């Protein structure tokens, strides 16, 4: 086991890679690339060591040297000695590919030819050179006679044995161990390069640019792969930079495993003032406390006796809770051999805690459904995050009831299914007591609110997450006496709560009951299938937000994965109809601007691992892009070919709409040339191709969206879409108007109060 992250370069691994990484026995299961030269894998422990970095290069380096008994030895590792070319060897045969030699007088003696195949002998890693100069003849006492060759033709050889030494950041140290008959030699090399490391795999790691993007990417990976991704960072600088992304993954149940490389235990105990610590006598673990509120479990691996079970405990929590977890690993721990017996037992990921209570809940749900006349299903975001999208869709298919998604849950109900009823987002702000009720603020399409709140007599809400942005700012009004709520922490039947019951086993049992009794629970859909109205029917002219979101929706094809940035896109894209089985992801609740550029990287890795047939599409604004743009380079470096819709409206339009439309703090540098972006990051014609196109009008956008090459998305491509600076989706406009009206009314009330006070002589 070994670290990938150096100081400022965290790495993202696929979770399967992590499990192999923590559980050496599992490595065999992964597709592996062949070992590079100068590396070796132990058949017994699967330890992999790569000595490649020790090779000394011509014109750059000098040979390694060591002395013994007034003799100086020169050598290279896995390559010929650099200084051997002009030497005079006893025979020309000796002079071929000499990897190690010593000199005596004007003669040089070869200690063997180059080999680049180190091997494990038991636990020891050795590299043998053989076929050097002839060994000397021995006298009657068995001592070598200098200058006389043996007649049997024995040749000199050298064995290098390697010892892992993590404390050495300095060059490797070479010591002479022994020699026999001036013929066979043994040297030992102590170096950090001889420590076990992770073999290159077809799956992860993906080294990234910015650490926060690494957290976003691990989050995006978890969403798409339905398994936690892995982020590896260093203590202090790395783990702190990642924290915003970790907190977002916590808020949105898109958790991952964060491995933090810590200083060696001895350095921690002695409070060494090493880099990334704070002051004299530093506590190296001070940062561990900082992530406590944003993780579901953690382990500091400092005790050999419990390490294996601690790793398992943390991994189990990650998978079960879908929240972030931390493993803190001191550098001196990574070579610790652990008892591998535990690996024979799969991790216990069973979410069922009280089967009898779960069955009772299922029975109550089935009874309620039998009695109901117009039940509906409300698919919600935690169904996606807890990896039960397919169970939810199967239930909808078997039930035949109208099915709605929430805003965050968009996509959990297949939008092409006959049951799809639209997106439910509450309906209006309740007039608060200090301001008159101005107007009803529509945030769901007309009809959907009534279908859910009034028409339906039972709402089965699967995976609910009652955040402001998912409930129309808490305007959702589903009466308790018709709500069946399924959540990771509880299930609730008409207001009766069963705490600590996870909804996933309940849902699975429910689906099984529906499968068994196909006719019993099926009901005729009493709501006609919802067709999202076309908001902007224009066919020509300049582009506006009212046109673009639904157009991007029509661009989606079955199995696409779409990441939609916070900002105006998150208000506009819900109006888009998605093709079948499209995975739609956005980070509306946490709302960290720029999230999707990193998140999409994780989605790309996950999609490649899963062999997903659809495309990966990123919808991002020019302002958001400037926060995290460098990760585009990582897409290119890894050969990914996402389609990027880049909405250019000269800055943070969402913020302009909310406050300060002309304020400088909502501006960005608008001189970026997005048509050169992919080229700059490496997507050039030669090697890795890219495509960059622009649209200012409907006609231009249509030409792009119907171009078969663009649709294919077989290379990375960006489509820059220009819309006016202050143009926003209708939902946002409605909401902000209402907010402004409210503020104005409140100000009126305030003014009247003040006037009243002035009139009453309060200030005289």
Ligand X SMILES: *[C@@H]1O[C@H](CO)[C@@H](O)[C@H](O)[C@H]1NC(C)=O
Task: List residues binding ligand X (CB under 6 A).
Answer: 43, 69-71, 96-97, 102, 113-114, 144, 179, 182, 339, 341, 350, 352-353, 355, 407, 425-426, 443, 469, 472-473, 571, 574, 731, 735
CB of 160 to ligand X, least distance (A): 16
CB of 635 to ligand X, least distance (A): 28
Nearest C-alpha neighbor of 101 from the set 151, 66, 127, 58: 66
Q: Which ranges of 381-466 would DSSP assign to H, the alpha helix?
A: 381-385, 389-399, 448-450
CA distance 506 to 363: 10
Tally of CB atoms within 10 A around 670: 12
CB closer to ligand X out of 40 and 372: 40
CA distance 60 to 169: 19
Q: Tell me which residue has tokens 């006496």.
A: 481
CB closer to ligand X out of 64 and 102: 102
CB of 461 to ligand X, least distance (A): 16
CB of 533 to ligand X, least distance (A): 14
CB closer to ligand X out of 113 and 551: 113
- Are the C-beta atoms of 151 and 137 separated by less than 8 Å? yes
CB closer to ligand X out of 298 and 425: 425
- CB within 8 A of 269, min separation 6: which ones? none
CB closer to ligand X out of 91 and 96: 96
CB closer to ligand X out of 426 and 553: 426
CB closer to ligand X out of 203 and 532: 532
* E strand or H helix that includes residue 751: helix 730-759
CB closer to ligand X out of 304 and 707: 304
- Are the C-beta atoms of 119 and 129 separated by less than 8 Å? no
CA distance 739 to 726: 17
CA distance 84 to 107: 12
CB closer to ligand X out of 473 and 721: 473
CB of 722 to ligand X, least distance (A): 23
- Are the C-beta atoms of 367 and 359 separated by less than 8 Å? no
CB of 487 to ligand X, least distance (A): 19
Q: What is the 3-state secondary structure (H, E, C) of 523-590?
A: CCCCCCCCCCCCCCCCCCCECCHHHHHHHHHHHCCCCCEEEECCCHHHHHHHHCCCCCCCEEEECCCC
For residue 205, cis peptide bond before it (omega within 30 degrees of 0) = yes
SS3 (DSSP) at 355: helix
CB of 299 to ligand X, least distance (A): 19
CB of 442 to ligand X, least distance (A): 9
- CB within 8 A of 405, min separation 6: which ones? 378, 379, 380, 411, 412, 413, 422, 423, 424
CB of 171 to ligand X, least distance (A): 23
CB closer to ligand X out of 453 and 609: 453
* E strand or H helix that includes residue 421: strand 420-423
**Residue 288 DSSP symbol:** G
CB of 713 to ligand X, least distance (A): 26
């Amino acid at each position: 086991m070994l670290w990938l992250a150096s100081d400022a370069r965290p790495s993202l691994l696929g979770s399967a890679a992590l499990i192999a990484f923590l559980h050496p026995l599992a490595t065999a299961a992964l597709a592996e690339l062949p070992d590079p030269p100068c590396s070796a894998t132990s058949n017994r422990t699967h330890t992999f060591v790569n000595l490649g970095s020790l090779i000394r290069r011509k014109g750059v380096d000098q040979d390694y040297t060591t002395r013994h008994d007034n003799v100086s030895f020169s050598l290279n590792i896995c390559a010929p000695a650099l200084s051997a070319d002009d030497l005079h060897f006893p025979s020309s045969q000796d002079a071929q590919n000499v990897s190690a030699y010593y000199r005596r007088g004007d003669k040089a003696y070869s200690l063997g030819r180059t080999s680049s195949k180190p091997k494990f002998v038991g636990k020891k890693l050795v590299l043998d050179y053989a076929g050097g100069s002839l060994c000397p003849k021995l006298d009657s006492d068995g001592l070598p006679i200098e200058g006389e060759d043996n007649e049997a033709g024995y040749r000199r050889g050298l064995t290098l044995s390697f010892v892992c030494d993590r404390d050495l950041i300095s060059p490797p140290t070479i010591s002479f161990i022994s020699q026999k008959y001036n013929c066979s030699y043994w040297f030992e090399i102590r170096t950090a390069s001889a420590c076990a490391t992770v073999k290159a795999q077809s799956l992860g790691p993906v080294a990234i640019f910015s650490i926060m993007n690494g957290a976003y990417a691990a989050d995006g990976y978890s969403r798409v792969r339905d398994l936690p991704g892995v982020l590896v960072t260093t203590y202090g600088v790395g783990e702190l930079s990642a924290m915003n992304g970790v907190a977002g993954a916590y808020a949105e149940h898109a958790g991952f495993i964060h491995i933090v490389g810590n200083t060696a235990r001895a350095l921690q105990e002695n409070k060494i003032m090493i880099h990334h610590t704070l002051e004299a006598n530093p506590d190296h673990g001070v940062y561990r406390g900082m992530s406590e509120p944003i993780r579901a479990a953690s382990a500091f691996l400092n005790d050999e006796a419990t390490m294996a079970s601690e790793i398992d405990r943390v991994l189990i929590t990650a998978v079960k809770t879908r929240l972030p977890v931390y493993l803190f690993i001191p550098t001196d721990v990574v070579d610790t051999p652990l008892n591998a017996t535990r690996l024979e037992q799969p991790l216990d990921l069973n979410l069922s805690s009280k089967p009898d209570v779960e069955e009772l809940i299922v029975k109550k749900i089935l009874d309620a459904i039998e009695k109901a006349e117009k039940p509906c299903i409300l698919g919600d975001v935690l169904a996606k995050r807890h990896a039960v999208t397919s169970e939810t869709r199967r239930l909808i298919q078997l039930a035949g009831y109208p099915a709605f998604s929430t805003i965050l849950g968009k996509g959990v109900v297949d939008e092409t299914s006959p049951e799809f009823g639209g997106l439910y987002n509450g309906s209006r702000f309740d007039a608060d007591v200090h301001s008159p009720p101005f107007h009803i603020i529509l945030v769901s399409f007309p009809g959907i609110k009534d279908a859910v709140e009034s028409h339906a007599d039972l709402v089965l809400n699967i995976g609910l997450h009652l955040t402001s942005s998912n409930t129309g700012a808490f305007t959702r009004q589903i009466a308790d006496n018709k709500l069946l709520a399924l959540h990771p922490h509880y299930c609730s039947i008409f207001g009766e709560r069963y705490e600590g019951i996870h909804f996933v086993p309940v849902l699975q049992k429910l689906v099984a009951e529906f499968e068994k009794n196909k006719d019993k629970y099926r009901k005729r859909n009493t709501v006609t299938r919802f067709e999202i109205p076309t908001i902007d029917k224009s066919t020509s002219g300049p582009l506006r937000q009212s046109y673009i979101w639904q157009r991007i929706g029509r661009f989606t094809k079955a199995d696409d994965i779409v990441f939609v940035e916070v900002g105006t896109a998150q208000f506009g894209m819900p109006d888009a109809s998605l093709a079948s089985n499209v995975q739609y992801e956005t980070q509306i609740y946490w709302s960290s601007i720029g999230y999707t550029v990193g998140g999409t990287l994780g989605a790309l890795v996950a999609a490649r691992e899963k062999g997903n047939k659809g495309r990966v599409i990123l919808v991002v604004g020019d302002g958001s892009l400037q926060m995290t743009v460098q990760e585009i380079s990582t897409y290119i470096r890894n050969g990914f070919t996402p389609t990027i819709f880049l909405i250019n409206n000269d800055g943070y339009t969402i913020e302009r709409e909310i406050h300060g439309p002309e304020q400088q703090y909502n501006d960005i540098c608008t001189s970026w040339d997005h048509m050169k972006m992919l080229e700059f990051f490496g997507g050039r014609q030669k090697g890795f191709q890219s495509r960059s196109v622009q649209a200012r009008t409907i006609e231009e956008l249509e030409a792009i969206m119907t171009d078969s090459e663009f649709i294919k998305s077989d290379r990375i491509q960006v489509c820059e879409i220009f819309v006016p600076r202050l143009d926003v989706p209708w939902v946002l406009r409605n909401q902000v108007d209402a907010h402004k009206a409210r503020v104005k009314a409140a100000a009126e009330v305030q003014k009247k109060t003040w006037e009243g006070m002035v009139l009453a002589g309060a200030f005289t």
